[in-house]
Amino acid sequence: MSKSYRVGILGATGAVGTELLELLESRKFPLAELKLLASERSAGKALCFQGENILVEAVSDRSLANLDIVLASAGGSISKTWAGIAVDKGAVIIDNSSAFRMNPDVPLVVPEVNPQAAFTHKGIIANPNCTTILMSLAVWPLHQVKPVKRIVAATYQSASGAGAKAMEEVKIQTAAILEGKEPVAEVLPYPLAFNLFPHNSPLTASGYCEEEMKMVNETRKIFSSPDIRITATCVRVPVLRAHSEAINLEFETPFNPDDARDILRQAPGVKLVEDWEANYFPMPMDASGKDEVLVGRIRQDISHSCGLDLWLCGDQIRKGAALNAVQIAELLVSGKNLLK
């Protein structure tokens, strides 16, 4: 990466935006210029980068000019408004919202899984949903050895998936409950502290919520396997940061759990965490702030000879969002397949 690039972060003051800023610095992304972009409401705020304060600008035609890459994490409506303008001005958009994920002309990329797809872009590359990214890192290496026929997923999703305000709300609710007061829910529809509820995304006609259908449709697209049968149940849980998932996989033939462990030990972006004697497996506390998806409790499904169960935890803000986007940018500027 001998060249340096002009990069903009759209949604720079949000939870994912600030993580993007930290990752560009810690991973030493080759920057010629960095622009921090957000709404008019956030314009004028200062964020620290490499020891210096950078002022946040209001996103506009002018602020999007002369950029090579825009890392967008400001929500689907904002992406739909500004992505085309940024592309017309010569930038590549790596978008963290759901706005373009299922557009057949937009690649949906997890660099450890389908890096080659990034190079088919027409100006926009979509970052998958957090739960999809975390699951794909654990399932793809196994799928390469024995194709998966069916995936049954249950997710345990932290407050971070709803943003920084939701994380703060859980803290306030926790304090209120411990003081004997009624918890107030404003960001999420119900109190999450000491509670859990099915994911609050809109329900579809099938009875599945949109979050669950994202896992179904996005995984099929990333794997280029439209026939994989996938079902998911997504749940909000009172954890601040890092999502967890219980995954059941069905194969054509039995998959030895020890073979699965050997494969996942070597898989990029994955860390095997298992201590059977101590009953110690991945936990959100261990995954928070980590790049890797922690995978463990790999075992034979006793109800199906060709089934395999596993458990994973991954940082939703990091690999589930910001890190994946930065890795896509690194992939583009290196011009190389990261798996080679």
Binding-site residue set? 13-16, 41-42, 101, 157, 160-161, 210, 236, 316
pTM over 0.85: yes
Give the gyration radius of the chain's Cα atoms.
20
In a domain, residue 234? The reply is yes
> Is 267 part of a structural domain of the chain?
yes
Does the structure show a pLDDT above 90 at 2?
A: no
Query: What SS3 state is found at 314?
Result: strand
Could you report the per-residue pLDDT of 178-196, keeping only the tens digit for each?
999 999 999 999 999 999 9
- Strand, helix or coil for residue 86: helix
Per the annotation, where are the binding residues for substrate? 157, 210, 236
336 vs 130, higher pLDDT: 130
Q: Say which residues have a Cβ less than 8 Å from residue 43's Cβ, sequence separation at least 6.
A: 56, 57, 58
Are both 266 and 238 inside the same structural domain?
Answer: yes
Which residues contribute to the annotated binding site for phosphate? 101
**The predicted structure's pLDDT at residue 340:** 33
Res 339 pLDDT > 90: no
Tokens 């690039």 belong to which residue?
5
Six-digit token pair at 101?
A: 């994920």
Q: Which residues are tagged catalytic?
A: 130, 243
In Å, how far from its chain's centre is CA 202? Answer: 19
- 114 and 220 housed in the same domain: no
Strands 124-126 and 31-38: unpaired
Q: How far, in Å, CA of 96 to CA of 101, rounded?
A: 9
Specify if 164 maps to a domain.
no
Our separate counts of H helices and E strands in the chain read 8, 14
Domain count, the chain: 2
Range of the domain at 247: 132-158+196-315
3-state helix, strand, coil split of the chain in percent (to 5) is 30, 25, 40
